[in-house]
C-alpha cells in the first residue's frame, strides 16, 4: 500500500513538473537550462561532428566522440542515419550531466529512401505543389529515421552550368527560385516544427555561393551589393519568411570576406534586418578554412571571427571546441555572444520536443511504415514525370505507340540503378538499390506482350571505346524505333564537380551519329545534373528528352512520358549555352548600350564574332505533345500609381489532341530606371492543366512589389515610367504583349 502511495506521489510530482515545464515558454526553459550550464557545456552545444562512416567533406581527425558526447561537449551530429544509430548516440548524450539531447542533421536533399528528381530537375516542373510534396515525403521518411534536420533547401541562384552544384538548386531565376525555396521549406517543416513528420529546414549556402568565379566550386565571389540584393538574396529572404529554422553559410568569400566570417551577411542582414531567430551552422569546416582563405591567422582567430560574425554552430572544424573557452577567458569573446548562439540552438531542441522525448524521431515502427511506401513511390513517379523536359519532337515520333513491335533501348544509362539518384542521395548502406527503377525496368513495366525490347550498351560514359557500336547498330537495325540514353555520369554534377567543358563525355555522341545512319526513328534521352552542351545532337536529332536524374522512379516516369501516359510539361530553369564561351549566359541580362538586333548586327555591337548571343535552349523552354494558343490579353488598367495594381487576364487554349499542362510565364521589362534594368524579368507564372480543346482564362496581378528593384542606394522600390508586359511559353517564346505605365 505504502509503495502505491509513494508511486502516486512521485507520478503527481513528475506530472506537475512536466506540466510546469510545459507551462513555461520555451525561452524561459532555455534560460533555466542556460543558467545551469558550464562554459564548456555551452561551447559543446556549438560543436557538430560527422559520423565517420558517411563523410560529406574532408575528414578532420577528432578526439573520441563518444566520450565528448557523454561529457556534453557535442551538440549535434550529421550523417548519422537510421533509428538504431541515432538511438545509440542519443543514449550517450543522456549520460551527460544535463542530458541535453543531440540534434541529428543530414543532407536529405531530394528524398531519404524514396528519392525524387534532383532539385534542378524538380525546378523544371515549375510545379510548386509537386515540389512541396517531394520535400514533405523526404521529411516523413527522414523524421521516422531519427533525423531532426535536413541541410536543405539549397537556394543558391546560379547562372553558370560549369558549377556542379547547380544540380542542387532551382536554377538562374530569382522569382522562380524564391517560390521554390518557400515550397521546399514548407514541405520539410510541415505545419509546425515539433510535429513528428517534420524536420528542420536549412536554407543554404548563405550567400552567393552560386556565383563562384569561373563556375569553380569554392571559388571567390565578387559582386556589387546591388547584384547581391537584387538576384542572390531574395530566395534566402523567402526562406526566412517561410519560417526556415536554420541557415547554413557558404564556403566562398564574398567581396573579400568569407561568408562564415561575414558579419554583414549573418548579423546585419540575416539576424538583424531579417530578424532571423533560428541558428546558423557553418558549412563543413568553413570556419577553419578561413585560415586557407588568408582571413584568419590560425584556428583561434578563425573561431573569434566566426562567432563574432554570427556563425552559431561549427560543423567539423573544431575551431570552437579548441578555442572558444580561451577566447572567453581572455575576454575577447563575451559570454553573451556564446549564450546567444546556445539559446538559438537549445530553442530548436525544445521546439522539436527533444527534451520531453529525445527518441521521439527514432521510431522503428514508423521508419518501417514510412520508407518507400506506395504513396511515396507514387509521388516520386509523378514528380519525376513532371520534371522531364521535351526539347525536340519533330516528325512526332513521341509519344510512342504501345503497339510498336520492337524497341532498341541503347546506351550506357539504360540499365543503371543508383545513378538515377544523382549526386546527393542519402547513402543508406544497409539498403540495396534494387527498389530503384532503372530506365530499362521502366520500359519493361510499360510495354505490352507484343512489344520486344532489345538492349545494347553501345559504349561507356567516359571512355573512348567504340567496340560496342557494332552490337548497338545490330540491335538498332532489328528495331522499329530506337531509344538511346546518354549523358554525364551521375557524379559529374554535385559538390566539387565543376567542369570546364560541359559536353557529353566519351564517345556517346559518336554512337548517336552511327545510329542515325541506320535511318531508324531515334529518341535521345539526356541524363545530367546541369545544362550540357550537345550541339550536334540538338541540330541533327529530331527527338530529344532531357531526363536529368529523376530518382527512384526514374524508369517508370520516363516510360510514362515516352508512351504519352504523361504529356511532358517541364520548362528549363536554366539557360542552355551553345558553348562554354557564352557563360555566364542568362535570360534576364541587361541590354547594354550596343545591343545586337540580330545575329548579323555585330559591328561595334555587344556580340561575338564567332557565335550568336542566343542560347541553345532558353530559360523557360519546354515542349508538349499538344499545342497551346494564347489570346485575349486584357489589362484592367494601363496607368497605375505605386498604390495600385493591374489585373491581367488572358485565354489559353489546348488546341492539340493530347490533354496537357502548360507553364504560362509572365515577364515584364522596365524600359528605363535610375539603374539599368533587365531586358525581361519573370514576375509570375501559372502551371495549368488543360484537356484537349479546353480553354481557360488566367488572371495575374501586377502590383508595386513586382515593379520594384534596388536602386543605387539599395533602396527597394519602383520608379515611374513605361513597362512592357510579356506573356509566353518560354522566355523567348512571347505570345502576348502590351505596355502599361507607372505614374507618380
Ligand atoms: C557539404 C556541403 C553542404 C552539406 C554539408 C554537410 O560540404 O557543402 O551543402 O550540407 O557539407 O554534408
Q: Which of 77, 106, 107, 313 to mutate to test the pocket of ligand 1 (most atoms within 8 A of CB)?
A: 107
DSSP E strand stretches across 51-206: 76-78, 103-106, 149-150, 202-206
**Cα–Cα distance between 384 and 551 in angstroms, integer?**
7
- At 18 the pLDDT is 57
Ligand 1 atom closest to 79 (CA): 12
- Cα–ligand 1 centroid distance for 238 (angstroms): 21
283 lines ligand 1 (CB under 6 A): yes
Q: Which among 340, 339, 358 is positioned nearest to 103, based on CA atoms?
A: 358
CATH, domain range 628-742: 2.60.40.10
- At 59 the pLDDT is 77
Architecture of the CATH domain 2-366: Alpha-Beta Barrel (3.20)
Q: Which of 284, 311, 427 to mutate to test the pocket of ligand 1 (most atoms within 8 A of CB)?
A: 284
289 lines ligand 1 (CB under 6 A): no
Give the mean pLDDT of 684-700.
98
Using one digit for the tens of pLDDT, what is the confidence trace for 151-187? 999 999 999 999 999 999 999 999 999 999 999 999 9
Domain ranges of the chain: 2-366, 377-581, 628-742
- Cα–ligand 1 centroid distance for 338 (angstroms): 24
CB 276 within 8 A of CB 240: yes
**Cα–Cα distance between 735 and 726 in angstroms, integer?**
7
56 lines ligand 1 (CB under 6 A): yes
DSSP E strand stretches across 207-333: 246-249, 253-254, 257-258, 279-281, 314-315
**Cα–Cα distance between 452 and 443 in angstroms, integer?**
11
170 lines ligand 1 (CB under 6 A): no
pLDDT band at 198 (very low <50, low <70, confident <90, very high): very high
495 lines ligand 1 (CB under 6 A): yes
- Cα–ligand 1 centroid distance for 606 (angstroms): 39
| Ligand 1 atom 10: residue of nearest CA | 151
- At 52 the pLDDT is 77
Using one digit for the tens of pLDDT, what is the confidence trace for 702-736? 999 999 999 999 999 999 999 999 999 999 999 99
Asked whether residue 11 carries a pLDDT value surpassing 60, the answer given is no
- At 481 the pLDDT is 98
Local structure of residue 100 (DSSP, 8 states): P
Q: Which among 610, 482, 624 is positioned nearest to 541, based on CA atoms?
A: 482
CA 405 to mean position of chain CA atoms: 40
| Ligand 1 atom 11: residue of nearest CA | 284
| Ligand 1 atom 8: residue of nearest CA | 283
CATH, domain range 377-581: 3.40.50.1700
Neighbours of 488 (CB within 10 A): 26
107 lines ligand 1 (CB under 6 A): yes
| Residues noted as catalytic | 283
- Cα–ligand 1 centroid distance for 582 (angstroms): 29
Tell me the Ramachandran region of residue 396: left when phi exceeds 0, alpha when psi lies from -120 to 50, beta otherwise.
left
User: Global pTM?
Assistant: 0.96
CB 526 within 8 A of CB 490: no
**Cα–Cα distance between 75 and 40 in angstroms, integer?**
11
pLDDT band at 20 (very low <50, low <70, confident <90, very high): low
pLDDT more than 90, % of the chain: 92
Asked whether residue 63 carries a pLDDT value surpassing 90, the answer given is no
Describe the crossing of helices 335-351 and 319-329 by its angle, rounded to 10 degrees: 140
156 lines ligand 1 (CB under 6 A): no
Using one digit for the tens of pLDDT, what is the confidence trace for 558-607? 999 999 999 999 999 999 999 999 999 999 999 999 999 999 898 999 99
316 lines ligand 1 (CB under 6 A): no
- Cα–ligand 1 centroid distance for 284 (angstroms): 6
- Cα–ligand 1 centroid distance for 283 (angstroms): 6
Give the mean pLDDT of 311-324.
97
Amino acid at each position: 500500500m505504502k509503495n502505491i502511495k509513494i508511486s502516486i506521489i512521485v507520478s503527481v510530482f513528475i506530472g506537475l513538473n512536466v506540466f510546469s515545464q510545459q507551462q513555461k515558454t520555451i525561452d524561459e526553459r532555455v534560460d533555466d537550462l542556460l543558467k545551469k550550464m558550464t562554459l564548456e557545456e555551452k561551447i559543446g552545444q556549438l560543436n557538430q561532428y560527422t559520423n565517420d562512416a558517411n563523410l560529406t567533406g574532408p575528414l578532420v581527425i577528432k578526439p573520441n566522440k563518444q566520450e565528448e558526447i557523454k561529457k556534453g561537449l557535442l551538440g549535434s551530429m550529421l550523417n548519422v542515419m537510421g533509428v538504431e544509430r541515432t538511438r545509440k548516440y542519443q543514449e550517450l548524450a543522456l549520460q551527460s550531466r544535463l542530458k541535453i539531447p543531440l540534434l541529428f542533421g543530414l543532407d536529405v536533399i531530394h528524398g531519404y529512401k524514396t528519392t525524387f528528381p534532383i532539385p534542378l530537375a524538380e525546378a523544371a516542373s515549375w510545379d510548386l505543389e509537386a515540389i512541396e510534396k517531394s520535400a514533405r515525403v523526404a521529411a516523413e521518411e527522414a523524421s521516422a529515421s531519427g533525423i531532426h534536420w535536413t541541410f536543405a533547401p539549397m537556394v543558391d541562384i546560379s547562372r553558370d552550368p560549369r558549377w556542379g552544384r547547380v544540380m542542387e538548386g532551382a536554377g538562374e531565376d530569382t522569382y522562380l527560385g524564391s517560390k521554390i525555396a518557400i515550397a521546399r521549406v514548407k514541405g520539410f517543416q510541415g505545419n509546425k516544427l515539433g510535429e513528428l513528420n517534420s524536420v528542420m529546414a536549412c536554407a543554404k549556402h548563405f550567400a552567393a555561393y552560386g556565383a563562384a568565379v569561373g563556375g569553380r566550386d569554392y571559388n571567390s565571389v565578387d559582386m556589387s551589393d546591388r547584384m547581391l540584393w537584387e538576384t542572390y538574396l531574395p530566395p534566402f529572404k523567402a526562406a526566412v519568411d517561410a519560417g526556415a529554422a536554420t541557415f547554413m553559410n557558404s564556403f566562398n568569400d564574398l567581396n573579400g570576406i568569407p561568408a562564415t566570417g561575414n558579419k554583414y551577411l549573418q548579423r546585419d542582414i540575416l539576424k538583424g534586418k531579417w530578424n532571423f531567430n533560428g541558428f546558423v551552422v557553418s558549412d563543413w569546416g568553413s570556419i577553419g578554412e578561413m585560415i586557407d582563405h588568408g582571413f584568419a591567422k590560425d584556428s583561434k582567430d578563425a573561431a573569434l571571427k566566426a562567432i563574432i560574425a554570427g556563425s552559431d554552430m561549427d560543423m567539423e572544424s573544431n575551431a570552437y571546441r579548441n578555442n572558444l573557452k580561451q577566447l572567453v577567458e581572455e575576454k575577447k569573446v563575451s559570454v553573451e555572444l556564446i549564450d546567444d548562439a546556445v539559446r538559438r540552438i537549445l530553442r530548436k531542441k525544445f521546439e522539436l520536443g527533444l527534451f520531453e522525448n529525445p527518441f521521439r524521431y527514432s521510431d522503428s515502427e514508423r521508419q518501417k511504415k514510412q520508407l518507400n511506401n506506395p504513396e511515396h513511390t507514387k509521388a516520386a513517379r509523378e514528380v519525376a514525370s513532371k520534371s522531364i523536359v521535351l526539347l525536340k519532337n519533330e516528325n512526332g515520333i513521341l509519344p510512342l505507340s504501345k503497339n510498336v513491335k520492337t524497341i532498341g533501348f541503347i546506351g550506357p544509362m539504360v540499365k543503371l540503378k543508383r545513378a538515377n539518384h544523382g549526386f546527393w542521395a542519402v547513402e543508406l548502406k544497409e539498403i540495396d538499390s534494387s527498389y530503384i527503377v532503372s530506365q530499362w525496368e521502366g520500359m519493361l513495366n510499360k510495354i505490352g506482350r507484343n512489344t520486344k525490347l532489345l538492349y545494347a550498351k553501345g559504349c561507356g560514359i567516359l571512355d573512348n571505346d567504340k567496340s560496342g557500336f557494332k552490337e548497338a547498330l545490330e540491335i538498332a537495325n532489328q528495331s522499329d524505333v530506337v531509344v538511346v540514353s546518354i549523358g554525364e555520369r551521375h557524379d559529374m554534377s554535385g559538390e566539387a564537380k565543376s567542369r570546364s567543358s560541359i559536353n557529353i563525355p566519351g564517345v556517346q555522341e559518336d554512337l548517336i551519329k552511327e545510329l542515325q545512319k541506320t535511318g531508324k526513328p531515334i529518341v535521345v534521352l539526356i541524363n545530367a545534373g546541369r545544362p550540357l552542351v550537345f550541339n550536334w545532337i540538338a541540330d541533327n536529332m529530331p527527338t530529344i528528352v532531357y531526363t536529368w536524374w529523376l530518382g527512384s522512379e526514374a524508369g517508370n516516369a520516363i516510360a510514362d512520358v515516352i508512351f504519352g501516359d504523361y504529356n511532358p510539361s517541364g520548362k528549363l530553369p536554366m539557360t542552355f549555352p551553345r558553348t562554354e564561351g557564352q557563360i555566364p549566359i542568362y535570360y534576364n541580362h541587361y541590354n547594354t548600350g550596343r545591343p545586337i538586333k540580330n545575329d548579323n548586327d555585330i559591328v561595334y555591337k555587344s556580340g561575338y564574332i564567332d557565335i550568336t548571343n542566343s542560347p541553345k535552349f532558353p530559360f523557360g523552354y519546354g515542349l508538349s505533345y499538344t499545342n497551346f494558343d494564347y489570346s485575349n490579353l486584357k489589362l484592367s488598367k494601363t496607368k497605375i500609381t505605386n498604390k495600385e495594381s493591374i489585373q491581367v487576364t488572358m485565354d489559353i487554349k489546348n488546341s492539340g489532341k493530347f490533354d496537357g499542362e502548360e507553364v504560362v510565364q509572365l515577364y515584364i521589362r522596365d524600359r528605363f530606371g535610375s539603374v539599368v534594368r533587365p531586358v525581361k524579368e519573370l514576375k509570375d507564372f501559372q502551371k495549368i492543366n488543360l484537356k484537349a480543346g479546353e480553354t481557360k482564362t488566367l488572371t495575374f496581378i501586377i502590383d508595386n512589389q513586382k515593379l520594384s528593384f534596388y536602386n543605387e542606394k539599395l533602396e527597394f522600390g519602383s520608379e515611374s515610367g513605361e513597362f512592357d508586359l510579356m506573356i509566353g511559353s518560354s522566355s523567348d517564346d512571347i505570345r502576348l504583349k502590351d505596355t502599361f505605365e507607372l505614374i507618380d
